[in-house]
């Protein structure tokens, strides 16, 4: 197993596990936010590759941990982002505010695109960024009557200020809500008004519609 881990690192052109940062280790939450070499140094007094691997195996033996993996360059990200078929989304799950050190995308994925890559870097137009977040994924996954503002479509709307939208969360301090978003309307029902939750929960799971499957409400 150790030999295979070392070979995998070699194939990925990495010398160690510095790219992996502990997001949540329930057995010892004091390690949350630390890289594998940092954890190895704390636990074993050394950050050699062998010590890093033994540290990973020890963590697994204690129930495992979730982690943030830094594996994409900014230049490549920009190349992907401008491609007309690239959609903007996040695979982050729901977060309990202030718990662990998760990836900041759970708080500000789309806000970062709108603030950093649209407003600050002019990599995308505002219209193109919104298309990548709305109509493109709706059409790609056959989510009918979603993703566009049209008569007969579900009124799923986000009202924000392009000059104020921002994602203050970052890897070292991820627990910050995105700002600049005033109102969120789901199926015509406001769930956020003036930046405050209304308590309404009109949302529903969206499913791909095949030729024989009726559209879900």
Q: What is the pLDDT of residues 86-137, one digit of tens each?
A: 999 998 888 899 999 999 999 999 999 999 999 999 999 999 999 999 999 9
pLDDT of residue 215: 47
Strands 157-160 and 189-193 turn out to be unpaired
CA distance 2 to 41: 19
So where are the chain's domains?
2-69, 74-197
pLDDT of residue 208: 75
Q: What's the sign of the alpha-carbon dihedral 153, 157, 163, 168?
A: negative
SS (H, E, C) 84-135: CCCCCCCCCCCCCCCCCCCCCHHHHHHHHHHHHHHHHCCCCCHHHHHHHHCH
pLDDT of residue 216: 45
pLDDT of residue 210: 61
CA distance 161 to 118: 13
pLDDT of residue 217: 45
Q: Which CATH number fits domain 2-69: 1.10.1220, 3.30.1490, 1.10.10, 3.40.50?
A: 3.30.1490
Q: At 198, is the secondary structure helix, strand, or coil? A: coil
Positions of the chain with pLDDT lower than 50, given as ranges: 213-217
Task: Name the one residue in this structure whose structure tokens are 């009109």.
Answer: 202
pLDDT of residue 53: 98
Cα dist. 197→3, 155, 191, 194, 201 in Å? 51, 18, 6, 9, 10
CA distance 193 to 171: 29
CA distance 179 to 160: 9
| Residue 141 and residue 208 in contact, taking contact as beta carbons nearer than 8 Å | yes
Q: At 12, is the secondary structure helix, strand, or coil? A: coil
CA-closest candidate to residue 47, choices 33, 59, 35, 31: 35
pLDDT of residue 202: 96
CA distance 195 to 140: 30
CA distance 119 to 126: 8
Any idea how long the chain is? Answer: 217
């Amino acid at each position: 197993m150790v030999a295979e881990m070392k070979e995998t690192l070699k194939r990925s052109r990495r010398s160690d596990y510095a790219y992996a940062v502990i997001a949540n280790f329930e057995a010892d939450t004091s390690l949350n936010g630390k890289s594998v070499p940092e954890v190895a140094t704390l636990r074993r007094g050394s950050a050699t590759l062998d010590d890093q691997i033994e540290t990973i195996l020890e963590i697994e033996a204690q129930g495992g941990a979730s982690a943030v993996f830094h594996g994409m360059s900014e230049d490549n990200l920009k190349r992907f982002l401008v491609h007309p078929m690239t959609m903007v989304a996040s695979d982050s799950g729901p977060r309990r505010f202030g718990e662990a050190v998760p990836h900041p995308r759970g708080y500000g994925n789309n806000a970062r695109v709108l603030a950093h890559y649209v407003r600050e870097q002019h990599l995308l137009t505002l219209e193109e960024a919104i298309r990548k977040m709305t109509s493109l994924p709706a059409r790609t996954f056959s989510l009918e009557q979603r993703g566009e503002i049209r008569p007969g479509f579900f009124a799923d709307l986000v009202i924000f200020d392009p000059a104020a939208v921002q994602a203050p969360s970052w890897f070292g301090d991820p627990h910050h809500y995105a700002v600049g978003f005033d109102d969120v309307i789901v199926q015509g029902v406001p769930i956020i008004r003036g930046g405050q939750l209304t308590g309404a929960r009109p949302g529903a799971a969206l499913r791909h519609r095949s030729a024989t499957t009726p559209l879900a409400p």
